[in-house]
Amino acid sequence: MIAEQDIQFPPQRVLMGPGPSDVAPRVLRALAAPTLGHLDPCYLRIMDQTRDLLRKVFQTNNEMTLAISGTGSAGMEACVCNLIEPGDEMIVCVAGVFGGRMKDVAQRYGATVHTIEVPWGTHVEPEKIADMLKAHPKTKVVGLVHAETSTGMHQPMEEVSQIVQAHGALLLVDAVTSLGGVPLPVDQWKIDACYSGTQKCLSCPPGLAPVTFSSRALEAMDKRKTKVTSWYLDMSMLRNYWGSDRAYHHTAPINMTYALREALQIVMEEGLAKRIVRHTKHHRMLRAGLEAMGIRYIPSHSLTTLNAIHVPEGVDDAKVRRRLLEEYGIEIGAGLGPFKGKAWRIGLMGESSSRRHVTLVLAALESILQTEGYSLEPGAALSAAAAAEKEADLAAVG
């Protein structure tokens, strides 16, 4: 039962699900700053600062880099609807929920979609993309998910990027669960359109979708023969609001922009490279602890930011998650699709990627599993995590 006071005053949780992640106090303070008008000179300056910071985190010089008013799904839709016209051919790689969502959106905007589908938990081999491009030489856009939130799969990108560029197609990438936590050099990989969300590795509340478009993507937009079907997400108008013209388009979420700017400043203060190392270290600690409990990972290439694991045989998935939340205040995610009831998804993103988070969830999970009759060696998980931490620290010094 949810107490009335919890509805009036939401409780403090330890957010270790697939998102959102914990939010730093200074980001929450930024949210509470006075609201300005969306064309106020001060706010326009804040928009400019936010764009500059986004370019640094995306590792790009793309002029068209901004935050869409909406969640990561709005970012996906903005990328698709601006690059696709009815009848255009698009290849979409599907390895989980969010590849499937990209396919659905592309079809809704009139694309002829050619799908590469692989089993959930696996990644797409570059050769399959090369073969599909040969079979469909008129392909305009190739879309794939860099970090598949539904399975914890990390899609290797460099070879895929080279193949798509050699063909002359545009590369569209979902980086919702990787931006700010996993290497994502947009310019180096020649990504033409990339979108993310604020609530994952950036540790900002949900509500904005960082996007970036290459000059090739802008050229394709400028050559459109038809209007973008979505008025709200039409980049030809949004770029005039975020650009020097400042042409009114919509009332931006002012305070969310404050929060995003603050979250991005935190990323820059830590240093992007150091931040990625931190996520890797805590993933290795968590993995060592889980495997010491006999718990297996699902994906062939695991994300460091989202850990998808098999629910141990004979263990009640929902009951364990409920006990984690009620007894320890820890949120982890359930499985989706074919993994429903069979998987847990543990996020280590942004503020939620720390030694405290790793040791807390391992200790809580060990305690609960023991009382649920699951056989394990008490203390083994934390010992394994400590050993992995020591190894990572020694490697960093070396």
What are the tens digits of pLDDT across the range 158-199? 999 999 999 999 999 999 999 999 999 999 999 999 999 999
DSSP state of 143: E
DSSP tag of 351: G
According to DSSP, the residues that pair with 260 across neighbouring strands are: none
Q: Does domain 4-18+271-397 have CATH number 3.90.1150.10?
A: yes
Please check the confidence at residue 1 and state whether its pLDDT lies above 70.
Answer: no
In tens, the pLDDT along 331-370 reads 999 999 999 999 999 999 999 999 999 999 999 999 999 9
Where in the chain are the domains? 4-18+271-397, 33-269
Predicted pLDDT of residue 281: 98
Are the C-beta atoms of residues 68 and 233 closer than 8 Å to each other? Answer: yes
Alpha helices, DSSP H only, in 84-173? 97-108, 126-135, 158-167
Place of tokens 């010491």: 292
- Of 284, 296, 288, the C-alpha closest to 381 is 288
pLDDT of residue 387: 98
pLDDT at 7: 77
Percent of the chain with pLDDT over 90: 93
pTM: 0.96
Least confident of 5-14, 155-164, 266-275, 310-319: 5-14
How much is the pLDDT for 5?
A: 66
Q: What is the DSSP letter of 297?
A: B
What is the rounded distance in angstroms from the CA atom of residue 379 to the CA atom of residue 112?
Answer: 54
Structure tokens at 359: 């040791």
What percentage of the chain reaches a pLDDT higher than 70? 98
* pLDDT computed for residue 242 by the predictor: 86
Tokens matching residue 52: 């500059």
- Segment 247-270 shows an average pLDDT of 96
Q: What is the C-alpha to C-alpha distance for residues 335 and 118, in angstroms, rounded to an integer?
A: 18
pLDDT value of position 8: 83
- Of the candidates 174, 176, 117, 147, the residue with the CA atom closest to the CA atom of residue 307: 147
Tokens 């942004």, located at residue: 350
Q: How far apart are the first and last CA of the chain?
A: 51
DSSP 12-63: P-EE-SSSPPP--HHHHHHHTSPP--TT-HHHHHHHHHHHHHHHHHHT---S
Residue 96, pLDDT above cutoff 80: yes
Q: Compute CA distances 150 → 73, 190, 280, 344, whole Å.
A: 14, 26, 19, 10
Alpha-helix runs per DSSP H in 168-292: 215-222, 235-242, 254-270, 272-292
Beta carbons of 194 and 187 less than 8 angstroms apart: no
Per-residue pLDDT at 247: 85
Comparing C-alpha atoms, which of 305, 278, 307, 306 is closest to residue 290? 307
* Mean pLDDT value across residues 46-70: 97
Q: What would the mean pLDDT of 266-293 be, rounded to a whole number?
A: 98
Tokens of 186: 């947009």
Query: What does pLDDT average to over the chain?
Result: 96
Q: Does domain 33-269 have CATH number 3.40.640.10?
A: yes
Report the pLDDT averaged over residues 233-257.
Answer: 90
* Mean of pLDDT values over 290-302: 95
